[in-house]
Structure 1
Amino acid sequence: MSEQSNYRIKSFVIRAGRMTESQQKGWSSVFPAHGFTLSEKRFDWDRSFAVAGRRVLEIGFGMGDSLVAMADQNPQDRYLGIEVHRPGVGKLLSEVDKRGIKNLKVFAEDAVQVLEEAIPQESIDLLQIFFPDPWHKKRHHKRRLIQPDFVELLVSRLSPSGHLHLATDWQPYAAHMMDVLSANALLLNTAGQNNYIARPESRPETKFERRGHRLGHGVWDLLFEKKSHDASRLVS
């Protein structure tokens, strides 16, 4: 990678954790119907869902609370989540089963590999990454997910006029995200240069986020749009 020398970004750090009975049931009973693996090659948005709404992909959904809520509230849209934390995947699948949600699928794999090997180019209408690990210490900044090469990969999977929505509760990381996204020639800040957006109603507030607000912590949302092919030609 050009800016990371030989360091290859991973979208995750494996976290240990035992699964509850319901989380394990999600894996054993629900994953076969709602889960995908890299061995299945290209992901087909049209064949994988019974609905034909927006194609929304979330990277690193954690325990899945907000992603489940979004899918439940927008049954006409297609949601795909990527997460390697097995208890989180199990919990999400358990909720999917409990609520009878049909429009949410998952990959339990590294997001970089999924994007490179399984997701077709220009196939995502909304790509969201909420509260990725900020890697606070300077010597760990190279491990941050939001880097120029990774953003190029994300943009290649966005449809023309598709959107990239990021959120973080760490101001230095928000500034880093802003710099990286603003430097990409195919992205346009919907809020204007160097501006953040207020949390949209479409992004449910997490328990972690509410606790942060009580403690006086800020949250920064960024929403960028991929320029259409015609717009790209105009600025090139």
Structure 2
Amino acid sequence: MAVKLLLIALLALASSSAILASDPSPLQDFCVADLKSNVFVNGFTCKNMNDVKAEDFFFSGLDRPRDTNNYVGSTVTPVNVNQIPGLNTLGISLVRIDYAPNGLNPPHTHPRAAEILAVLEGELYVGFVTSNINNVNRLFTKILKKGDVFVFPQGLIHFQFNIGKTNAIAFAGLSSQNPGVITIANAVFGSKPPISDDVLAKAFQVDKNLIDWLQAQFWTYN
């Protein structure tokens, strides 16, 4: 009986560890990423403490507007471990998003992070879609104005669309040093090599000619 209870407790512990999994917790004050290291681990190896500088924790320029003259009318400026090596093991990062009028940050997911977005200027229509629960993917949407905040749960498809007549700016915090991004249209229709048009035609229940046309388009990466 005691062995059974121990096994149940171990299984419960393993399950809870999986559920609470996120970026690794730091075991020291900091672990500045050595971006030049040839050692590959889940994250980055630490720079020698004697070589760490204040610049390893610094990034400048998020006050400057970005060019939104592209197919989607938006530009995402990331500040993650690749821009600030000192973010390594801290489990956080940041982005600035600029939107032209009618600019869209297309439906996408962050496989390793939840996101909290704050609007600094403009008016955005935002939303996310749940996973398939009882054969329903539920959509949550909101119109955000200056000073408003919205949360996108980890891994769920979400978007932002500038419905105002002026440029919009938002900042977003993410719960990973390297959250990753999968832009849905780019991944489905712009993968290299391409997904079979037979597969996509059946999945989307459309003619193969439409799939071929979509795969021939230029997909902007934000």
Q: Which has the larger radius of gyration?
A: 2
The structure with the largest strand share of the pair is 2
The structure with the largest helix share of the pair is 1
